[in-house]
A and B are shown apart, each in its own frame.
Chain A
């Protein structure tokens, strides 16, 4: 039987506010255990939550970026359950009237483009961490993370492969970083995915029973966990079994998912509106202000690069993958408005290649956009060849902010385009390589390239290659 996969994702995005969503404690990562848990975070008797307006602003910013509706009033609700790392015995979250409703994002796999609709995005607080290391038979509790603001982003079940799920997660990851609401650090748990996976006979319009896979903290694990789970579900069904609705955990070491709890064990969370927090009224003016401060979004930039700079969709996608890369490109191309393709090639080629090799991010690039643009300008005006330019780039990378011109001058790398000088080298090379000249004239094209190479070598690479070609052809034709 043919099967099709249905996937919906719930992604927890940690908001990059300075303080927690309901207290003034810092959210900085990596502090000693419980050093960033204030009276509110450890839920002392009598303490009360106070909403961090910045977290609301970030949620609205996200809503604006995906074309969603902002609910006003937005309501906070208590999700009640007992766990040692949940100090109040309830999590402040949202159930009805989440702050963000609807919206959509465009994802791309291979050459396919697809719109994924979002159900909602709501604000909530994170729990603390239980740790077993270093405590014999006991559990340690670190409440530093307790109360950190999260935006839980829930998609419609509209993805039908692990590739689409990964593309969705990547697009969202890029977007939340792009609009500055999350640092996107997956190792530190700033961006965590849960996947709801089900399968059904191809063509069916009834959803199969789903399993939720929790806490997938890398795109690779997301992909592998879904692939494993889809295979497991299909195997189960084809062997006459049925899928039990349950929550599963992905074990990366074994590359499998395992049952954590089934629906019957599910908690009754007894949600109700939190009486300590008033409904959040969000004015139209506030929304408009946030909208007006929104940066140009990746989708808009991508389209502009294709239309105005004639970049291929492929190039435009790569260059808008992160805000930092896109900004780097933007700043470079602003200085060379006619040379979009050249800028793109260099940034995707030399610059990215070198960054990858050295494990650097674009915002750590030793060559800044202005330096790069000046170098590319020297290619376009014929001062240096593309090949020499790579040497100059190399010097720049290792140098300390030297301009392209300074390096070209210091190393005497200026391209030679003077016909008479080039002709001199041509003549010398022809005289010294009679056999190759004869070969060429006998029809061996390869001999021509050899001769060009010799001339370039003689000029120490500085001869204008185009001119070398023309002048050599002219001489050989005589």
Chain B
């Protein structure tokens, strides 16, 4: 059951071989056993989850079910969920019970899926290791000395440790793909604008995009069918015809042109990652794909550009956390300014403060042109590189992360090293392109390695297709961490 795919769970549920309440209870029990150590969840609310499971069982009994009705899903704690504590990994929201549902939460709710709890994350999604969470670091279930990646580290850990069949994540510069790679699960960040951002607590509005995390590409396709859709409450949401992301899963990849950016295979990649990626590419060759070298000359600027633009937007997005209307407020203050200063000094962690400072700086009078405007120009150049590359190939592949998961604490005092975790993922984010990561093996200390797939705009179905073909031919995605007793 714990290793079952969403399709398998769906048929068990619709054949009434298992009920949603039984399934939900099983995962809740598992969370109770393992979460104390793994710390994947910030909030678990058995009563709420079981109520939803009962509703799902009624839907099934009454024949009103959708393909995923009754299946539990863990929600990243960045999504507002009505009646749930919604912290975004921060002390400043440590008392915030959301009075409304994010669109994504509502979509899964309407599909009859069961909210299994709120997963741990880097504070305000700022981090690549889940160590910036106010609620403590998440452990990598493959090696508990290691980080799970971030910012969707709780979600990646929950799926990898089989605490949840699926989870939501959000990705601003790699926050779905990098933890998916480090925890050995599959995750996809769709084209910017496909999934509504309403109710998803903003980090960098022009980059933030929600996506699913699960064991396989097939599971991701089923989840995307629920998540993608126009939302009039999000002005950046795209109005497009509804797609079935499972439609092309079984297509052959023969003749597919895979682009390999020479910049992604240059120095920086560790040898274990390199050999796992090479092996995955060899598998694709066997499946009939062809390879072409492409160039993304401006992608080397992606990390610096990202670390100007994302903090700029974040510095403004996080201004609403002022202790006035909701959230944490300092206990003692002399006047209004004192209230602001103490509330924010005590409520935010170091990494969030660092980015607010960077963002405030780059938007300041006299620096705006040199940093913010310049970064916007480079962002366009980075996107144009991809446009050019996609005239030569159908998809782009490379490593998701330059290394396997590093140890907890190892990079905490080296922000630059930490920021380089996003070296392969941030370019696609800046371009608004869809990106995904699938497990392709293990490196040193038996820590997982991910293959990064970047598609052209709106080519999610094609990306899922080629990931699925790989997963039909290999079994990396089916492996569960040994210490979790699956």
Q: CB-CB < 8 A to A87: which residues of B?
A: 320, 324-325
Does chain A have a CB within 8 A of B71?
Answer: no
Contact B325 A43 (CB under 8 A): yes
Contact A78 B320 (CB under 8 A): no
Nearest 9 pairs of A and B residues by beta carbon:
A89-B319, A270-B363, A275-B206, A275-B205, A46-B199, A43-B320, A45-B201, A46-B80, A46-B201
**Which stretch (B62-70, B233-241, B389-397) binds chain A?**
B233-241
Q: CB-CB < 8 A to A51: which residues of B?
A: 235
Closest chain-A Cβ to B266's Cβ sits at a distance in Å of: 32
- Considering only residues 232-269 of chain A, those with a C-beta below 8 Å from chain B are 268
Known: A45-B80, A82-B340, A270-B360. A277 touches B235 (CB 8 A): yes
**Which stretch (B10-18, B94-102, B345-353, B413-421) binds chain A?**
B94-102
Return the contact of B96 from the options A42, A45, A82 (Cβ within 8 A): A45
Contact B233 A90 (CB under 8 A): no
Contact B316 A46 (CB under 8 A): no
Known: A89-B316, A268-B365, A270-B364. A44 touches B93 (CB 8 A): no
Does chain A have a CB within 8 A of B466?
Answer: no
A270 to B96, CA, bound (A): 28
Known: A90-B319, A141-B324, A270-B363. A44 touches B102 (CB 8 A): no
Does chain A have a CB within 8 A of B88?
Answer: yes
Which A positions have Cβ atoms within 8 angstroms of B?
39, 42-51, 78, 80, 82, 84, 87-90, 141, 268, 270-272, 275-278
* Binary contact readout B193-225 vs A (1 if CB under 8 angstroms, 0 otherwise): 000011111101110000000000000000000
Closest to A272 in B: B363
Q: CB-CB < 8 A to A271: which residues of B?
A: 363
Q: CB-CB < 8 A to B315: which residues of A?
A: 80, 270
Q: CB-CB < 8 A to A39: which residues of B?
A: 99-100
Q: CB-CB < 8 A to B319: which residues of A?
A: 80, 82, 88-90
Of listed A44, A46, A275, residue having the most chain B CB within 10 A: A46
Closest chain-B Cβ to A306's Cβ sits at a distance in Å of: 48
Closest chain-B Cβ to A60's Cβ sits at a distance in Å of: 19
Q: CB-CB < 8 A to B197: which residues of A?
A: 46, 48
Q: CB-CB < 8 A to B206: which residues of A?
A: 275
Closest to A141 in B: B324
Closest chain-A Cβ to B102's Cβ sits at a distance in Å of: 6
Return the contact of B199 from the options A47, A88, A89, A275 (Cβ within 8 A): A47
Q: CB-CB < 8 A to B328: which residues of A?
A: none
Closest to B196 in A: A48
Contact B234 A42 (CB under 8 A): no
Closest to A22 in B: B235
Q: CB-CB < 8 A to A268: which residues of B?
A: 364-365
Does chain A have a CB within 8 A of B21?
Answer: no
Contact A46 B198 (CB under 8 A): yes
Contact B205 A89 (CB under 8 A): no
Q: CB-CB < 8 A to B336: which residues of A?
A: 84
- Chain B binding surface, main DSSP class: loop
* Binary contact readout B315-341 vs A (1 if CB under 8 angstroms, 0 otherwise): 110111110111000000000100010
Q: CB-CB < 8 A to A90: which residues of B?
A: 316, 319
Return the contact of B93 from the options A42, A43, A45, A275 (Cβ within 8 A): A45
Contact B372 A272 (CB under 8 A): yes
Does chain A have a CB within 8 A of B283?
Answer: no
Contact B316 A44 (CB under 8 A): no
Q: CB-CB < 8 A to B318: which residues of A?
A: 89
Extra A-B contacts (16), CB below 8 Å, given A44-B100, A80-B315 = A39-B100, A42-B325, A46-B80, A46-B200, A48-B202, A49-B235, A50-B235, A78-B316, A89-B319, A90-B316, A141-B325, A270-B364, A270-B368, A272-B372, A275-B205, A276-B236
Q: CB-CB < 8 A to B372: which residues of A?
A: 272
* Binary contact readout B88-120 vs A (1 if CB under 8 angstroms, 0 otherwise): 100001001011101000000000000000000
Does chain A have a CB within 8 A of B313?
Answer: yes
Q: CB-CB < 8 A to A49: which residues of B?
A: 235
Contact B316 A270 (CB under 8 A): yes
Q: CB-CB < 8 A to B168: which residues of A?
A: none
Known: A45-B93, A88-B319. A50 touches B233 (CB 8 A): yes
Q: CB-CB < 8 A to B320: which residues of A?
A: 43, 45, 87-89
A78 to B314, CA, bound (A): 12
Q: CB-CB < 8 A to A277: which residues of B?
A: 235
Closest to A79 in B: B316
Known: A45-B201, A87-B320. A272 touches B232 (CB 8 A): no
Closest chain-B Cβ to A271's Cβ sits at a distance in Å of: 8
A209 to B360, CA, bound (A): 30
Q: List 13 A-B contacts (CB under 8 A).
A: A43-B320, A46-B199, A46-B201, A46-B202, A78-B316, A80-B316, A84-B324, A87-B320, A89-B319, A89-B320, A268-B364, A270-B363, A278-B236
A51 to B236, CA, bound (A): 11
Return the contact of B368 from the options A44, A272, A276 (Cβ within 8 A): A272
A278 to B206, CA, bound (A): 10
Q: CB-CB < 8 A to B93: which residues of A?
A: 45
A1 to B336, CA, bound (A): 46
A277 to B316, CA, bound (A): 14
Return the contact of B198 from the options A47, A82, A88 (Cβ within 8 A): A47
Known: A44-B99, A87-B320, A89-B320. A278 touches B198 (CB 8 A): no
Closest to B376 in A: A273
A299 to B444, CA, bound (A): 81
A84 to B206, CA, bound (A): 26
Closest to B323 in A: A84
A276 to B231, CA, bound (A): 13
Known: A51-B235, A82-B322. A45 touches B316 (CB 8 A): no
Does chain A have a CB within 8 A of B312?
Answer: yes
Closest chain-A Cβ to B450's Cβ sits at a distance in Å of: 28
Contact B99 A46 (CB under 8 A): no
Does chain A have a CB within 8 A of B400?
Answer: no
A47 to B202, CA, bound (A): 9
A89 to B324, CA, bound (A): 11
Return the contact of A44 from the options B80, B200, B236 (Cβ within 8 A): B80
A268 to B205, CA, bound (A): 22
Contact B198 A272 (CB under 8 A): no
Q: CB-CB < 8 A to A82: which residues of B?
A: 319, 322, 340
Contact B233 A48 (CB under 8 A): yes
